[in-house]
Structure 1
Amino acid sequence: MTSPGSTPGTATRSEHDLLGDRDVPADAYYGIQTLRAQENFHITDLPLSHFPRLIEALAQVKRATARANHGLGALDDERAAAIEQACTEIVGGELHEHFVVDMIQGGAGTSTNMNANEVIANRGLEILGRQKGEYEHLHPNNHVNLAQSTNDVYPTSLRLGILLTFPALVESMDHLITTLRAKGAEYSRVLKMGRTQMQDAVPMTVGQEFNAWATTIEEDVVRLTRTAAAFQEINLGATAIGTGITTDPRYAQLATQELSDLTGIDFVVSADLVEATSDTGAFVTFSGILRRIAVKISKICNDLRLLSSGPRAGFHEINLPAVQPGSSIMPGKVNPVIPEVVNQVAFEVIGNDLTVAFAAEGGQLQLNAFEPVIAFNILESTRIMTRAMNTLADRCIAGITLNEDTLEDNLRRSIGVVTALVPVIGYAAATDVASTALETGRPVADLVLERGLLDESRLKSLLSPESMTSPHRATPTGTMPDLSNEWLDSGEITRLPLEPDTEG
């Protein structure tokens, strides 16, 4: 029988398992159980090697357990050294193409664990001067998987895989934050109209808008890092259900310490290994933070698409970089394709989080059999969000320019600026000005001057960027300012005394 990926006439070796004998490609480092998993799980067409950090994590866990078993006298020098060398090569990026099992699989990750066991065993056999498949000298189960179960190896490897993967996401978030802050500084003095409920609100600066986007992402850098720390508690040594069957009493602590030494990450043994073996709470929480980030980044992209809409019949306040033609039929059309693709990434991440929640809830008794889909969705969300953040920063935010004429015209025509005058002319007078401005289309400033509510110098001061876009003290309507207050001499805006507002 021809093995998957081979052609008729390809050299094979025969291997045996619980279900019988099968021919495996002679040059394959995986073995019979991986072969069966390949045949059974044609789901995503994304193999374990799609996530290199997960492969590295599996190898580090196997390396740590080999060291622990050797230290306890359960694994001889020769086999321990062969396993460690094979694992070291895998951590260095070798043999990843032999991790061929589909990411989504039945069996609670057993096929993933056996794929790793077989690759390490067969590479170890080569190191020992033996042929692949000569498992009597180095066995995938008896030696590579010694004192282990899928049920402690797989969740531990996934936790380590996430810890190795998420720093790239944090780096991409930091890059986006820096890019947004740069735009915030560049446009810190440019006024625009803020909006609430899609209606004119009050003035702000363009810089404040960009800085607000940066801040909302910045908040979750801290949250993501703190949440990831929960993955440092592991169940290595729990074996099948958390009772530690087949292990030396010293094994769990020793294997965990070895993993810490190898990775530089301070892992700890869970206080209750039975609970830890079935618990997926840390994955749910981490996925929830990824969803939170996705929701925020999608909202930013919604804003970018609105603010750049037009160019003639939309908001047209900002220009997004033109990165490709936008239509096969409409000449000159350019679409906001970068925000659009990031929106779609966000939708995917939000959906992935729902899958994680269902999978976590679906576990029964002493094990959650659905950790493979949890692994796939968290790692995929992290991967595509990392790329999306970098794409948004480099191919969109960095190249944004302003349409200052549009911003100035919107500000001039908006009635929202009247809010800045309320502390001085009173709500009733401001409302009357706003109503007239709406009815006639005339600028608020012209009406205020025409009615003698303020003189031109005073009005200009109140409608300055400093007055309209940040807190400041205001003189109550109809009262004289307290000239003894130090703030009058501090360079802040002062206000002229006005007549009492007889309309209330």
Structure 2
Amino acid sequence: MRAPATAPQRTEHDLLGERDVPAGAYYGVHTLRAVENFPLTGTPVGVHTALVVALACVKQAAALANRDLGLLDHGRADAIVRACGEIRAGRLHDAFVVDVLQGGAGTSTNMNANEVIANRALELLGHPRGDYDELHPLEHVNLSQSTNDAYPTAVRIALQTGAGELRDGLTGLADAFSVKAAAFAPVVKMGRTQLQDAVPMTLGQEFGAFAATVREDVERLAEAGRLLLEINLGGTAIGTGLNAPDRYAGTVCAHLREVTGLPLRTAPDLVEATWDVGAFVQLSGVLKRIAVKLSKICNDLRLLSSGPRTGLGEINLPPVQAGSSIMPGKVNPVIPEAVNQVAYRVIGHDTTVTLAAEAGQLQLNAFEPVIAHSLLDSLALLTRACATLTERCVTGITANPDHLRSNVDRAIGTVTALNPVIGYTAATGVAAEALATGRSIRALVLERALLTEEQLDRLLSPENLAFATGAPQTP
């Protein structure tokens, strides 16, 4: 039998020697070694589309700045810009193959970007891939840069993109809760504290509170995002700007603002900005806050819909799939359960970010790859969770108003409204007897001649109790 044909190769060299790279690959020897060195998660950096696009933005801005400052000729600069434009448009993302977890503070990701852009630029210039004498990944694509300023800048831009998408998702979820709050405004129910009956409210108020707490975090996320607008591009290796020309930092930042449309600014102290990851910690904390609040809401939705016959049964979640392989007719609250699990993942990522941020040493934090992956994954998970919760759960929720009103009529918690008139001691006696005998608060108060029918009608009106003075009726 004929031996299988060997795939065409090209030979590249680096600090450690020569290696054969598939001739058709856009990546090169540095990427090849990184793939071999970091077989960790099996997840390539290319899955983070926003990061790949952000890297292309940084490299495009650098090429334009180097051209403006006379360091890069127009032909090479234009080819690099065109290659970056293709990547920003969604091409070649499958060539970003290094693992999301890697040693070297992101060097492998930066090398991967340099090589892909260089080889595509070579094609655009009419040269074969790997012809680095004509256009080099490091001499030209990485000119005036270090991984230590290019990579963190790209991460910040990518996180801006992800944060914007999550803000949209949170806004959509808050809007869906607001719609339900308006629909449920007339539905009176009992509120609960510590899982015990408290005082009346409306289901609209409960859902309005869901809307308000979600909407709060849209602004918290925007605040965290504003911290990411400060970049260290131009600081090169440790923030001193070694090997970058005068005026480079300002020039490249101006180009990057134009390329991204973001109001980016150069950090006032590039040495500090090169090792500081405080903005990432701040964002991670906000994402944990969002996760905790979403999980709490989902816990409430599961409780309120529990049953259907022996639970609280106050609301109905839309049935989306069969709930059991053995119990016919069972339907589970699978959408809130899934969002709960997203929250647990995000909370875990926050711990990872915290530890990685604290572990930075001297002029650089070597652990930015795991910080970036954790944050980008959290943003994507939360964005998808918001959409899923909105579309497959919240918009289809219905109420059981008759059951809710019956609970209010039987509740002992309504006696709280009588305290200012009959006093705490008398109210306690009424509540204790009602609990022991099953009789209503109204009947016992009348029997003891503590109030008249008219006074009770006014004080124990569920609508009056739910809309107490100063309490807003709509979210």
Tell me the TM-score normalised to structure 1 length: 0.91
Specify the alignment match of 1:201 in structure 2. Answer: 198
Specify the alignment match of 2:473 in structure 1. Answer: none
Contact 1:67 1:80 in 2 (8 A): yes
Specify the alignment match of 2:400 in structure 1. Answer: 403
Matches within 5 A, 1:166-181: 166-181=163-178
- Whether 1:74 aligns to 2:68 is no
Contact 1:420 1:467 in 2 (8 A): no
Specify the alignment match of 1:91 in structure 2. Answer: 88
Structure 1 residue 315: Cα displacement: 1.1
Residue aligned with 1:21, SS: strand
Contact 2:188 2:463 in 1 (8 A): no
Letter in 2 for 1:454: L
Residue aligned with 2:66, SS: helix
- Whether 1:298 aligns to 2:295 is yes
Quote the Cα distance in structure 1 between the aligned partners of 2:17 and 2:90.
Answer: 33
- Whether 1:391 aligns to 2:388 is yes
- Whether 1:454 aligns to 2:455 is no
Specify the alignment match of 1:59 in structure 2. Answer: 56
Structure 1 residue 136: Cα displacement: 0.4
Structure 1 residue 440: Cα displacement: 0.4
Quote the Cα distance in structure 2 between the aligned partners of 1:466 and 1:327.
Answer: 40
Specify the alignment match of 1:161 in structure 2. Answer: 158
Specify the alignment match of 1:286 in structure 2. Answer: 283
Residue aligned with 1:156, SS: helix
Structure 1 residue 406: Cα displacement: 2.3
Deviates more, 1:84-93 or 1:262-271: 262-271
Quote the Cα distance in structure 2 between the aligned partners of 1:132 and 1:367.
Answer: 33
Quote the Cα distance in structure 1 between the aligned partners of 2:440 and 2:171.
Answer: 42
Q: CA RMSD in A?
A: 1.2
Identity among equivalent positions (%) equals 60
Matches within 5 A, 1:58-457: 58-457=55-454
- Deviation per CA, 1:83-128: give whole Å up to 9, x if none: 0000011111111111111111111000000000000000000011
Specify the alignment match of 1:483 in structure 2. Answer: none
Quote the Cα distance in structure 2 between the aligned partners of 1:400 and 1:383.
Answer: 25
Larger relative contact order (CA 8 Å, sep ≥ 6): 2
Structure 1 residue 468: Cα displacement: 0.4
Quote the Cα distance in structure 1 between the aligned partners of 2:51 and 2:443.
Answer: 66
- Deviation per CA, 1:412-461: give whole Å up to 9, x if none: 22110111122222222211111110110112122223333333333222
Letter in 2 for 1:34: T
Quote the Cα distance in structure 2 between the aligned partners of 1:266 and 1:319.
Answer: 45
Quote the Cα distance in structure 2 between the aligned partners of 1:321 and 1:471.
Answer: 32
Residue aligned with 1:105, SS: coil
Letter in 2 for 1:64: A
Residue aligned with 2:360, SS: coil
Contact 1:189 1:465 in 2 (8 A): no
- Deviation per CA, 1:280-338: give whole Å up to 9, x if none: 00000000000000000100011111111122221111111111111111111111100
Letter in 2 for 1:90: I
Structure 1 residue 8: Cα displacement: 6.2
Specify the alignment match of 2:18 in structure 1. Answer: 21
Residue aligned with 2:228, SS: helix
Contact 1:14 1:24 in 2 (8 A): yes
Quote the Cα distance in structure 2 between the aligned partners of 1:79 and 1:317.
Answer: 67
Residue aligned with 1:23, SS: strand
Structure 1 residue 352: Cα displacement: 0.2
Specify the alignment match of 1:47 in structure 2. Answer: 44
Quote the Cα distance in structure 1 between the aligned partners of 2:150 and 2:196.
Answer: 55
Quote the Cα distance in structure 2 between the aligned partners of 1:472 and 1:131.
Answer: 77
Gaps spanning 5+ residues in structure 2: where?
Answer: 471-475
Contact 2:58 2:150 in 1 (8 A): yes
Contact 2:287 2:346 in 1 (8 A): yes
Residue aligned with 2:190, SS: strand
Quote the Cα distance in structure 2 between the aligned partners of 1:75 and 1:315.
Answer: 70
Quote the Cα distance in structure 2 between the aligned partners of 1:448 and 1:132.
Answer: 90
Number of paired residues?
Answer: 467
Letter in 1 for 2:148: N
Structure 1 residue 471: Cα displacement: 3.0
Deviates more, 1:146-155 or 1:392-401: 392-401
Contact 2:43 2:99 in 1 (8 A): yes
Quote the Cα distance in structure 2 between the aligned partners of 1:8 and 1:254.
Answer: 50
Gaps spanning 5+ residues in structure 1: where?
Answer: 1-6, 474-504
Structure 1 residue 37: Cα displacement: 1.0
Contact 2:408 2:462 in 1 (8 A): no
Letter in 2 for 1:225: A
Tell me the TM-score normalised to structure 2 length: 0.96
